[in-house]
Structure 1
């Protein structure tokens, strides 16, 4: 999906004031390398999930400064005329490398590398972080939920619990990480995420009786629909549902009460009525812990809303975008030097990094190797960074299904501890090696 409107103002003012000052100081054209990484994972998380890459590539393509945008910036005094003239010609012409969407990451994994002039690359900071911090957080939570669900289907239904555009991005990220469907139709239109949905309690309350509501829904949507059975009395509702739809009723949904207890009662009642194939779906403030607690219950699927779109307590991935190398001058052949922050509690490591996932003879990952030199992977190791943008041209687009399948494979190679919901260390240790100078 290519965005029609410019994304240039989806940024912080200081990106543009840095550009303005760098143009004045003559440092704007120095070659620079920025990297995106997380210093740590949210408490209790064993791995993170890369998501939002496809959205980011669209946004970089649309990051241009049209006349109306420049008029806004100059009228506010954000940029002066030399900076405005520079921005009028701006098109990112550098290179971007990154972990492929759907892959897992760990503390200090260099999940995105942006190479270009300082002026070109610094302007992308806020855009990169706003997309990746949100989508990685949602996908990381969704992956834990999908693992807890143990192959039972999950529907993302958090649109009413977040910003309208965040809802679309959340649905996409959740699908990458293993959710089956979304209730959000824009995510279906824009990204091809499968959509699902039937009726809320309001539909039952609209009618003169629950029986009338069920009759109306069945007449409209067919016997394969899902009937919501907890508006009044669950036992009576299940009995009415099977009486009206017969044993071919698709599913019943429970949205309140002790979901484990209710699911067992409803399953037993459905079986006693001959509706052995009618599925039991549960919703209602679920998160990965609630899903895991229902593992032994006769539940056929889950709907998750608030916890999913808020990252289940971690609404940001805490990713940062740091300058790690820059040239000594504006010349094309000027030597590059590593640079790093030494701030207390927020240090960074200088030098452009590469990353390799170490994999043993059984196909199991056991370490994340990060090096400032050229990567030297073993016969089974995976080089993690792939080209996403080359000389300004997007080269890393792929179908969303490819990211979804990649995530499935990436989680499968992690050690069993990765799937634990209890607090603990990251599933893979990050090992640093200071290499020699990079080629090229």
Structure 2
């Protein structure tokens, strides 16, 4: 459950639209809004749906308290009629969308919100805030997981993000395949495994490195990770093995030319008899740095800033657009920002081998399904009531399977076309 009331996590103009629609009688017109992206960030070949589980919980709790309504009335954001409407607000419509962990492409209708105009429009900012952030983090994290080639990753970006964004980012990174997070709130809220041992400050606190290592091992045992680059890395490794013995679980290196240092460290550890001691590297790693270390003796990566900032694409560029009013398709014709009217239904088309080849999006109708097609949308909310949601681990597995299904070219880190094309066709 969300830890705060989300009602005022919105933009001023959402509520002025509510006021005007209530006054002119259009507030209850049945509408369909869709969330989609017109384009992927530069260099990306797919997007990842993330944050939907968080969002549905927030919509469930989306209410305006007496104090909030009083604030809106007192500051003249809304008139008296709108204030009364907000005091009784509860979303009663329907929400459908792509599963969390699903891949998306330009034009994919990843979320569909239907109901009265006012009750749907007031959710716009919240929906985009959650999905733009979490989808961006998940896409970046998924690329890092691919680059790691099966090696474990730990998300450690809490100190590079807003405190609540850090928790959401940890969740999105775990969904994308990271094994651990350093963020304890994410561990408590979502059951994500947490990990961490010590920073350079702990070593500097003590009179020398060996004393710091001895203290850590005395407290945590040999099944710990010693940070060996506070002073001299080679001497740090010698000190670590001298203190903990060759049974030490891991050493972490947070600076320097990691490719060269990883090789040298592996050789030194092996020469000291610590052949099973793992090497963990961190320090401003992104998917490209991780890919560059693929041939090096690295066992785990720690990634922080690049994860929580979407690795250069901090938003998924999702928009929330009205596409249907009282069953009639509506179209925005702005240059470079045009929309396609009508409620969409989407399927992913596959070869018999399971490889995805195309996404078909049908307007105002149902796709002509073929063998090996998979419908992409599921129900999240029906008549205002949330429907049972998959667990985070189930969504994590769903994404893993989706990444297996796209052509191998779609996993490349180099710029290129989307992994599969999206074809929009008119329905019957």
What is the TM-score with the length of structure 1 in the denominator? 0.96
**Are 1:311 and 2:310 an aligned pair?**
yes
- What displacement does 1:5 show? 3.6
Deviation at 1:171, TM superposition (A): 0.1
SS, match of residue 325 in structure 1: strand
Contact kept in structure 2, 1:4 and 1:62, CA below 8 Å: no
Q: What residue number does 2:230 align with?
A: 231
Matches within 5 A, 1:196-211: 196-211=195-210
- Cα RMSD after superposing both structures: 0.7
Q: Work out the CA distance in 2 between the residues paired with 1:256 and 1:4.
A: 37
Q: After TM superposition, where is structure 1 displaced by more than 2 Å over at least 4 residues in a row? A: 3-6
Q: Is the 8 A contact 1:44 1:421 kept in 2?
A: yes
Unaligned runs of 5+ in 2: none
Q: Tell me the equivalent position of 1:393.
A: 385
For residues 332-376 of structure 1, give each alpha carbon's deviation from its aligned partner in whole angstroms, at most 9, with x where no partner exists.
Answer: xxxx11001100111110000011000111000000110011123
Residues 280-295 of structure 1: pairs in structure 2 closer than 5 A: 280-295=279-294
Shift of 1:418: 1.1
Deviation string, structure 1 residues 180-210 (Cα, Å, up to 9, x no partner): 1000000001111110000000000000000
Give 1:379 shift.
2.0
Cα offset, 1:244, TM superposition:
1.3
Aligned counterparts, 1:316-327, within 5 A: 316-327=315-326
**Deviation at 1:397?**
1.8
Q: 1:6, CA displacement in angstroms?
A: 2.2
- CA separation in 1, counterparts of 2:132 and 2:369? 29
Aligned counterparts of 1:228 and 1:87: Cα–Cα separation in 2: 54
Q: For residue 45 of structure 1, report the CA deviation from its aligned partner.
A: 0.3
Cα displacement (A) at 1:3? 2.7
Aligned twin of 2:241: 242
Once the two structures are overlaid, the 10-residue window that deviates more, 371-380 or 175-184, is 371-380
| Residue matched to 2:341 | 350
Equivalent residue in structure 1 for 2:406, among 405, 409, 414: 414
Residue deviations 1:221-245, cap 9 Å, x none?
A: 1101000000011111111111111
CA distance in 2, matches of 1:375, 1:222: 59
Q: Which residue of 2 aligns with 1:268?
A: 267
Q: How many residues align?
A: 427
Aligned with residue 416 of structure 2, among 399, 403, 424: 424
**Residue 338 (structure 1) aligned to one of 326, 329, 332:** 329
Spell out the pairing of 1:166-245 with structure 2 (5 A cutoff): 166-245=165-244
Q: Post-superposition shift, 1:377? A: 2.2
**Could you tell me how far 1:143 is from its partner in structure 2?**
0.2
The CA deviation at 1:398 is 2.2
Give the match's secondary structure for 1:262: helix
Deviation at 1:278, TM superposition (A): 0.3
Q: What is the TM-score when the length of structure 2 is the normalising length?
A: 0.99
Conserved 8 A contact 1:98-1:112 = yes
Deviation of 1:159 after TM superposition, in Å, equals 0.4
Q: Is the 8 A contact 1:356 1:383 kept in 2?
A: yes
Shift of 1:19: 0.4
Q: Secondary structure at the match of 2:101?
A: coil
